[in-house]
Amino acid sequence: MWEHSFRDKSAERRLFRSRALTLAIFIFLMLCILAWRMAYLQINLYEKYKDLSENNRIQLRPIAPNRGLIYDRNGILLAENIPSYSLTLVPERVRDMEQTIAFLDQLIGISERDREQFEKRQGFRRRPFEPVVLRHQLSEDDIAKVMVNRFYLPGVDVEAQLVRHYPQGETFAHVLGYVGRINQQEQATLDTDPETKRRYSATQFIGKLGVERRYEQDLHGEVGYQKVETNARGRVIQIIERQDPVPGQDISLHLDSRLQKLAEKEMKGMRGALVAIEVATGGIISLYSNPSFDPNLFVTGISHKDYSSLRDNPDLPLFDRAIRGQYPPASTLKPFVGLAALNSGITSWNESIDDPGWYQLENDERLYRDWKRSGHGKVNLQRAIVESCDTYFYDVAVRAGIDNISPFLAQFGFGRNMTLDISNALPGLLPDRDWKRAKRKSFWYAGDTVNLGIGQGFMLVTPMQLATATAVLANRGQWQVPRLILAHNDIADEIPHGDIADIQLKNPQDWEQMYHAMEQVISGSRGTARRLLSKLRYPIAGKTGTAQVVGIKQDEEYDSESLRERWRDHALFIAFAPVEKPEIAIAVVIENGESAGRTAGPIAQSIINEYLGGAEG
């Protein structure tokens, strides 16, 4: 080590000391920078970071209210809430989404569809760290499997929630409608009003159709809140403050489960609808459309397969025929046309006409045929109703004129939705001169009136409207606006009447006369519904109708055998009972049912017997 001998030890030391001092000063300055930085964060930015840390920790979580229950008139539960367990993921907490889902698939099975839905849900309406549902309706087994493996599944949780359930299934599907998950469009609508946005801040389901939609406001309830302290994984450590949600109101409907089930049973295998109304109150005691569907499928999201099988079913199970099916009223319109003719003064119960089997307008060669080719001979109004004579009504309709008939029919609610609480019911079509000019760009011809006389041509009615008109008829023109709602937590007594005037006939005796004629439809030896007589337990007044599905040319024979089933006539039947003091009014439409006396009539009769017979039936 020769260098040692040349070294100036004290110079070395001095050099080192100066370097060390330089670094000591440098280190001091650098530590001051750190101290300044910390002081800046902890003093200058204290408020900001204090809020941030509070926001991290404290969350205001809305709590969804329990949806109100729905009962029928006898207190039977139609819609309830049952607990359901869902598998949820907080995407921010899941380290490897693909791997996690694959593992869950291995554990409890995650379908392709679940995955699709999950992707979709992740896309919209999400607060950060809000759990997203991956699978609904976990079994006890599934829950156990997930819980055991929870350590390997960060961000995965099982959540219990109440889900709507319809214990009666298909029986009430159309009338009750169903709830479903709030979709993007509905969310956007809810968000436009801060008040509804607040009310729905925790809500996942909303009434989509039917009663569920109409009474959404009442069923929904008031949102609650809780202020919680959570850890970084979103787990609640403690509840700081809580305001309980107010459950939605329970509602009772006029609907009668017995009748509804009977309607379902009687209409098995048919396409059609049935509407029954309590005459005294306007309460809708049965509203059924067949075929129906299981509303429970829709609640947590219907699968593509289930939905397309419903949508593509040629019998259209999703179509609510009772309020949206529009049919020509056919001969069921005759009692109303008859009253219109009487009230306009152009005829009386005593006047008869001669029916050769056809009717002809003046200066027109066209023959309007009666269903009975040989004609009914001498007919008055009573016989024309009982035997459903077309020629008679061709004649009185033309003589009374469209300007008398159309406004008179309007008084029975034709051409508009007169229900109190069925907002999506269709209005049908009550034609008049103005309508034809506006919509068809054409004059009203006398031939149009001829067709209207027997309920054919332009006019369309829904089963709901037929039942309503029948109830008004049975109630001597007194309106009780048809309604589903029976009672309600708040508004049990104040149910509005609707803006329609009661019907005043010039001769009130005409009501009784018409009832008598309609009773003869069943009990008379030539009545079109005389088949019902064998099972008659209560005096029923009714009227049959047969609506053409395809136009039949003037001289063509109607041959049902040769027509495909779908081209057969629709069978219609309206009735009320008991005749002296009507309690129930009913309308039944069976598509392609052909003969009202054979199909629609017996169904109406069994509903009436059940309703009036009660326990003994």
Distance CA 121, CA 345 (A): 66
Distance CA 455, CA 449 (A): 10
Nearer to other proteins, 57 or 261 (CB): 57
Contact with other proteins (CB under 8 A) among 5, 10, 20, 259: 20
Asked if 96 touches other proteins (CB under 8 A), the answer is no
Asked if 236 touches other proteins (CB under 8 A), the answer is no
For residue 53, the SS3 value is: helix
Nearer to other proteins, 58 or 492 (CB): 58
Alpha helices in 304-419 (DSSP H): 304-311, 321-324, 334-344, 381-386, 390-400, 402-410
Q: Taking CA 330 as the corner, what is the angle to CA 502 and CA 519, rounded to the nearest 5 degrees?
A: 65
For residue 503, the SS3 value is: coil
Asked if 313 touches other proteins (CB under 8 A), the answer is no
Q: What share of the chain is helix, strand, coil (3-state, %, to 5)?
A: 40, 20, 40
Nearer to other proteins, 41 or 160 (CB): 41
Contact with other proteins (CB under 8 A) among 10, 43, 534, 616: 43
Contact with other proteins (CB under 8 A) among 113, 150, 233, 506: 233
Nearer to other proteins, 124 or 445 (CB): 124
Nearer to other proteins, 19 or 366 (CB): 19
Catalytic residue status for 331: yes
**Which of 252, 286, 331, 595 is flagged as catalytic?**
331
Tell me the C-alpha to C-alpha distance, in Å, between residue 89 and each of 106, 113, 201: 16, 16, 19
Which of 595, 591, 544 is CA-nearest to residue 567? 591
Contact with other proteins (CB under 8 A) among 99, 139, 231, 504: 231
Q: Pick the piece of the chain touching other proteins (CB under 8 A) from 7-15, 148-156, 303-311, 447-455.
A: 7-15
Q: Taking CA 562 as the corner, what is the angle to CA 559 and CA 565, rounded to the nearest 5 degrees?
A: 100
User: String of b and e for 338-357 (b: at least 16 CB within 10 Å)?
Assistant: bbbbbbbebbebeebbebeb
Nearer to other proteins, 1 or 615 (CB): 1
Contact track, other proteins, 119-138, x by CB under 8 A: ---------x----------
Query: Cβ of residue 59: shortest distance to other proteins, in angstroms?
Result: 12
Footprint (CB under 8 A) of other proteins, residues 247-286? none
What is the size of the binding site for other proteins (CB under 8 A)?
45
Q: Pick the piece of the chain touching other proteins (CB under 8 A) from 153-161, 178-186, 226-234, 591-599.
A: 226-234
Asked if 50 touches other proteins (CB under 8 A), the answer is yes
Distance CA 479, CA 343 (A): 18
Nearer to other proteins, 13 or 526 (CB): 13
In sign, the C-alpha dihedral spanning 102, 108, 112, 114 is negative
Asked if 52 touches other proteins (CB under 8 A), the answer is yes
Asked if 80 touches other proteins (CB under 8 A), the answer is no
Asked if 102 touches other proteins (CB under 8 A), the answer is no
Asked if 37 touches other proteins (CB under 8 A), the answer is yes
CB atoms within 10 A of CB 31: 10
Asked if 239 touches other proteins (CB under 8 A), the answer is no
For residue 434, the SS3 value is: helix
How many angstroms separate the first and last alpha carbons of the chain? 125
For residue 552, the SS3 value is: coil
Place of tokens 């029986």: 171
Give me the residues that bind other proteins (CB under 8 A), please.
Answer: 1, 3, 6-7, 11-13, 15-17, 19-20, 23-24, 27-28, 30-31, 33-35, 37-39, 41-43, 45-46, 48-50, 52-54, 56-57, 92, 128, 229-233, 237
Which residues are catalytic, by number?
Answer: 331
